[in-house]
Amino acid sequence: MTTVLFFVFAAAALGGALGVVLSRNPVHSALWLVQTLLSVAVFFLLQDAELVAAVQVIVYAGAIVVLFIFVIMLLGVDRHESLEDPVKVQRPAAIALGALVLAEIVFLAGHEWATGARTARGAPIEGGTGAFADYNNIERVAHVMFIDYMWAFQITAGLLVVAVVGAIVLARRSGERPEGQEPGTPAPERAGPESGSGQRPDDAAVEEPVGEGAT
């Protein structure tokens, strides 16, 4: 039955991946990607990695794909991109890289790890002495993340604050709303470059920067 599940979702993952590459519409590609990512989440479940599966769904199938869709919508899907590569070597290079990664995965899968973890299902994570021998997978991750890696975790909070501030600084429409402006009233549209002789230089004319991905 596990094998059946595996093959069903393996087919789904592969089909989704093919869909990503072969779809003409980039939005469809993104949706196919969701299928692949969800299938991979099922693989994680089959490997007893519940937390990774949840993260896969929350972050990848959720946040990352949303980000993709936003970028696609930002660029506009109407424009029919020609499928001709401007750089000719791209496609063979991509195939070569893919083959390399595949070889690497196959190689690493047969590898003995010093962590004691093996890649096949059924090999439990080593460790778990004393107090948390009967803890489940997620509780152990929680322990490692919030006790052993507490410092790194707290720095992550700072990192996310940086992401918020950075994104706002870069992606806001026109740098700064005139100060003292009541929040309710809309900012006066800048009349144009000719009106800006005495004011601060007009940055509304600057093209929107794409902003800051924060992963």
Partner 1 sequence: MLQRAEILGVRDFYRDYFAVAVLIGAALLMVGAMLGAGRLIRPVRPQAEKYVTYEAGSDPVAGWGQSNARYYIYALLFLIFDVEAVFIFPWAVGLEGLGTFGVVEMTVFIVLLALGLVYAWRKGVLRWA
Partner 2 sequence: MIGGGIDTGTRIVGPDVDFLAIGPVLALAVAALVVILVRAILRKRGPVNQISLGVGLAGVAAAGVLLGIQWNEVRDDGTITTIAGAVRLDTFGVFLGVVVLAATAMSLFLAASYLEREELEAPEYYALMLLSAAGMLTMTTANDLIVVFVALELLSIPLYVLAAFDRRRLSSQESGIKYFVLGAFSSAVFLYGIALTYGATGTTSLTGIADFLSANTLFEQGTLLAGLALLLVGLGFKVAAVPFHMWTPDVYQGAPTPVTAFMSSATKAAGFAALLRLLGVAFPLYRTDWRPAILGLAVLSLAVGSIAAVIQTDVKRILAYSSIAHAGYILIGLQVDTARGRQASLFYLLVYAFMTVGAFAVITVATRKGDDKHSLDDYRGLALRRPVVGGLLGFFVLAQAGVPLTGGFVVKLEIFSSAVDAGEYGLAIVGVLAAVVAAFIYLRIAVALFTSPGGEAADASEDRPVDRWTAAVLAVTTAAVLFAGILPGAWLTFAKDATFL
Looking at beta carbons only, is 102 or 149 nearer to partner 1? 149
CB-based contact 54:25 (threshold 8 Å) = no
Spatial distance between the Cα atoms of 9 and 59, rounded to a whole number of angstroms: 19
In the bound complex, what is the minimum distance in angstroms from residue 205's beta carbon to partner 1? Answer: 14
Amino acid (one-letter) located at 156: T
Instruction: Pull the structure tokens for residue 118.
Output: 């093996």
Spatial distance between the Cα atoms of 75 and 151, rounded to a whole number of angstroms: 39
Interface residue list for partner 2 (CB under 8 A): 108, 111-116, 127, 129-132, 143-144, 147-152, 155-156, 158-159, 161-163, 165-166, 169-170, 175-176, 179-180, 200-201, 203, 206, 209-210, 212-214
CB-based contact 2:25 (threshold 8 Å) = no
In the bound complex, what is the minimum distance in angstroms from residue 96's beta carbon to partner 1? Answer: 32
Looking at beta carbons only, is 50 or 202 nearer to partner 2? 202
Looking at beta carbons only, is 22 or 93 nearer to partner 2? 93
Q: With CB cut-offs between 5 and 8 Å by kind, which of partner 1, partner 2, none does residue 118 bind?
A: none
Q: With CB cut-offs between 5 and 8 Å by kind, which of partner 1, partner 2, none does residue 77 bind?
A: partner 1
117: left (phi over 0), alpha (psi -120 to 50) or beta: beta
Q: With CB cut-offs between 5 and 8 Å by kind, which of partner 2, partner 1, none does residue 45 bind?
A: partner 1
Looking at beta carbons only, is 14 or 63 nearer to partner 1? 63
Amino acid (one-letter) located at 96: A
Spatial distance between the Cα atoms of 23 and 35, rounded to a whole number of angstroms: 14
